[in-house]
Amino acid sequence: MKKYLYIFKSELMTNLQYTFDILVGFVSYCIMIFIFLNLWKYIYSNPNEVIKGYTMNQMIWYVIVTEILWMSLGGRKLCKKICNDVRSGNITYNITKPYNYVEYSLFSHLGITTLKFVLITILGMLLGLLFLGEFPHLTILGILGVILSCALATVINILIITTIGLVSFFIEDANPFFWLYSKLILVVGTIFPIEFFPQFLQPIAKYSPIYVVSYGPAKLFVDYSNEKLLEIIIIQVIYLGITWLIAHLIYKKGVKKLNVNGG
């Protein structure tokens, strides 16, 4: 574990030198929040109106949190790196090193994501306070629960994207699969909570990645309850185990394929 923590720390320290580049990325986040702010203000003719169990303020805070999670992730960069490692053969150098490539990708990208998450969270909270004038009512336990859920969501997201990238062992380019996944999360998971889905789709969405990487943390932030926290954390832990296992299975099969082909 020490070697992976060292990888995490190294990436974190490296990215501290490029804080300005991250700050420039704030512009796109502000634009997205401004668009969704006006969208939901248009949909809610009355600010006190409740639609599908959400007030206008709750919906805007929901989008602020989901956008923080997605925009701090940098998933396209991760998937592209893994695809390039596989196609170029660079991954063979990692096979001989004293660490697992899946864990290396996870902790390395966590080092990149952590700083972006902290900075974008600060920006998101300030924008929410500026536009809405108040935070959702959260206890200390609630805040800790949201942070834990966000951390699990990020790890799961990285493992899913790592898995998508590793599919490059078997097909020419896995980037189109990431494109589909990103659009699913952005269009379905970011804009609308699960409660807005048709009734027959809600059980499906509840067991999809949308629930654990997007909906869960945002739902806790805008409408916290201990029961909901327990439910979301349990599902996230299950998802964490499944995605970790799948990523390792695909990696092992890919390495075996390289060895058989003389890679």
| Domain ranges across the chain | 2-260
Rounded distance between C-alpha atoms, residue 208 and residue 184, angstroms: 10
Rounded distance between C-alpha atoms, residue 137 and residue 199, angstroms: 28
What are the Cα distances from residue 133, in Å, to 10, 126, 231?
Answer: 38, 10, 30
Phi, psi for 90 (deg, rounded to 5): -60, -25
Q: Could you tell me the pLDDT band of residue 147, with boundaries at 50, 70 and 90?
A: very high
Whether the predicted pLDDT of 88 surpasses 70: yes
Closest CA to 79 of 103, 113, 109, 100: 109
Q: What is the pLDDT of residues 177-199, one digit of tens each?
A: 999 998 888 877 788 888 888 88
The better pLDDT of the pair 146, 91 is held by 146
Which residues, including other chains, have CB under 8 Å from residue 8's CB and lie 6 or more apart? 107, 108, 110, 111, 114
Q: Could you tell me the pLDDT band of residue 42, with boundaries at 50, 70 and 90?
A: confident
Tokens of residue 60, six digits: 């805007």
What are the Cα distances from residue 203, in Å, to 100, 131, 179?
Answer: 35, 33, 24
Q: According to the model, what pLDDT value does residue 242 have?
A: 95
Q: According to the model, what pLDDT value does residue 155 have?
A: 96
Write down the mean pLDDT value for the chain: 87
Mean pLDDT of 201-229: 90
CB–CB of 113/158 below 8 Å?
A: yes
Whether the predicted pLDDT of 263 surpasses 60: no
Alpha carbon dihedral 245, 214, 21, 102, in 10-degree steps, equals 0
Q: According to the model, what pLDDT value does residue 76 have?
A: 86
Closest CA to 115 of 27, 212, 18, 185: 18
Residue 246 CB neighbours (<10 A): 15
Amino acid identity, residue 71? M
Closest CA to 103 of 249, 244, 253: 244
Rounded distance between C-alpha atoms, residue 103 and residue 242, angstroms: 15
Mean pLDDT of 211-220: 93
- Give ∠ CA 165-82-258 in degrees, rounded to 5: 85
Tokens of residue 226, six digits: 């201990």
Whether the predicted pLDDT of 202 surpasses 70: yes
Phi, psi for 54 (deg, rounded to 5): -120, 135
The better pLDDT of the pair 47, 69 is held by 69
Tokens of residue 51, six digits: 């639609």
Rounded distance between C-alpha atoms, residue 34 and residue 55, angstroms: 18
Phi, psi for 200 (deg, rounded to 5): -75, -20
Rounded distance between C-alpha atoms, residue 150 and residue 146, angstroms: 6
Rounded distance between C-alpha atoms, residue 167 and residue 172, angstroms: 9
